[in-house]
A and B are shown apart, each in its own frame.
Chain A
Amino acid sequence: MKVLVAGMSNLEHQGQQGVIDSITSLLKKMGVDYQIFTDEVKCWEATLNLGFEDISEKVSKEFKEKAEATGADLIISSFAAGVQKWRTELPNQYGLELGIPYIHVSQFIADEFKKSSPDLAPFPHKYFVQHGCTLGRKMKGFQAIRDVLSYVPEIEVLEEEHPTAELEKMDKAEFNTCPGSWLNFTQPELGDYIKENYVLSVLAPANPDYAGSTCANGHYGIVQGLEIAEIEDIKPLYFTELLDRIWR
């Protein structure tokens, strides 16, 4: 099975080299035949969110053509938006279907771990998971990351608590706070609020050693937020970085 890795150019643009390196390193360690999608259309998903209707169909088609031309059997990405767009929006809006399954990297790793349990070193730390809004809230993709982290010996996984989630018969991750990564895109002046309303309100009270989001955009928000808040006790760590670090 040949795996095409999407979203790497955006990770590079954000300066998330650690995430890029850990994904490729993990895929190698897992023995996956993979290819980085080097000439994918940047931010094509954003055209759908921002209403650029004159080009959104065109760039989505371009993504499809380029992806299918690679001969890959599966596409994976650390960003959830592309997964969601091909699952619901593009088929509904333009009748566009991608000829290759497209899943989030957490789902891919969870599936691979089910086939063959990894040998991981203990990680005796508290790790806070932020479930990305698209992957978590919109696609109900909470379980894959929980499954993946369940293979990590001695880890203590923390998640955002919400006082009414249980009463409302919802997964607590449905209420997960956005760490504010979108602000970097439009309103960087409001960084103080990321600090106050995510890092200090949500992350710090949980008192984790490490924190990461399932979504690469969310993770970028966490990295920024911790930096703005000048918090050094909590280290940002994407889950692929964590796995790569303890892989034996």
Chain B
Amino acid sequence: MLLFRGRRERLGTAVRQAADTGFTVLDRRLPAAEAAKVLLRKAFPDHWSFLLGELALYSFVVLVLTGSWLTLFFDPGTREIVYHGSYTPLQGLPVSVAYDSTLHISFDVRGGLLVRQMHHWAALFFLSAIGVHLLRVFFTGAFRRPREINWMIGVTLFLLALLEGFCGYSLPDDLLSGTGLRTANSIVLSIPVAGTYLSYLFWGGSFPGHVLNGRLYILHVLFLPGALIALVAAHLVLVFYLKHTQWGGPGRTNRTVTGRPLFPHFTAKSTGLLCMVAGVMAVLGALAQINPVWEYGPYRADQVSTNAQPDWYVGFLEGALRLMPPWETRAAGHTVMWNVLLPAVVLPGLLFTLLYGYPVFERWVTGERGESHLCDRPRDNPTRTGLGVAAVVAYAVLLLAGGNDVVAFSFHLSVNALTWLLRVLVVLGPVAAFLATKRLCLALQTHERHVLEEGEETGVVRQSVYGGLEPQRAEVRIDRRYRFLVRDLPRPAPPPERAAPRRVRLRAALSRWYFARREELPTTPEQRRHIEEALAEPERRRS
């Protein structure tokens, strides 16, 4: 034992010396010490809701790695050849080079199917993680000053990820993705006046043509990933520079950022998360079949398969297309296809305009305020939360409508009745969701006031000498009381004068709509002083 211990100590000393020397060598040539001083002790949040963005990041890492591997074998050509691979049902069928190489990857390249399926699963997961991360940031108000620009970068990432996903989905040139491109083609054609020219430009002639797949391939493996990587880097640099937001709590105020240091806590945790994401993707890729293009067959412009659904993140557009009534207008020798233009061009345009513009809009309504580094609890801003939930409900109805044929088939319903039900729901659902959510948020605030006034129910029930049953109550725990009381509620704008311009009156009305309803919580003067301190704005950093 003693002998071994001596050897271990000698080994330890040697390792330490090697590390010292290595660091000196690096530091003489690179800004290693400066970087380490800033980076290693940098605080990172440890609440689970802050890991959602990391999930997106790590699934993107998996996407880049698996995607790079797939480029070694994939050929996006549209030249027609005869299939002679090892999948017998398709033997001798005329297929495109792209479809042939997808089958080649799936059946003849070692590990090809696994990596292909991992890539597809990771893409679905990437978009889901982005969506959930976006919702987290929205509902906690983490987009407020100074993070508006980072929000916009994030929305751009979302948009690019959608495009990237659609391009990748279209590449194998199978019957399903070809149907998707046919839809995309009609969407482009629906743009008034410019549509036919744009379609001619993208497809290099009439649909399907031979140039689009090559263009999509370059977009998918070069331009979009390049833009994604650059914007992800900018996103992270801004998170570094602006610091993360945090939930309020003792010691966590608007001026002090707390968290775990980058090294070793955050590094260990985050590496673990990366490994878990990669592992889950590998397990899904190995066990769960996805996009079996050999079952769909090669694309032919005169064929459509039933039960054709896009990947889930494009499903809301598909749903909007299916719900839209068949409206058309003929004017001056042109046909305006409202049935495609509104759901597939105007709707996504509106969605992204709202996403980009929301922080600016809310700031305009709120009026001039300082920086916000503490997360809002969704219940403390009922109108914003209500709007968010309304948007989620509208999205969910559209997504459901994207599978209306499958839903009708599975539940033995009439597809027409279902479509009409969803048409009504997509209009009324969000309104009902908004009202219910706002009401619920206020109810939660009321509950907190009750808890503060009467104490928390411990669950122990006591019986009095008269036989009455009463819950036992206890003092609210300090961290809970802090969470209830430290909240940053803007005051509604004062009512404007009669002669005020319409813009000012509109702003005042919106401000009242946002901030007038609230539950006042009982506070002592000392608590009010503490709250004010916790919410005080940080001082500007002098450079």
Q: Do A and B bind each other?
A: no
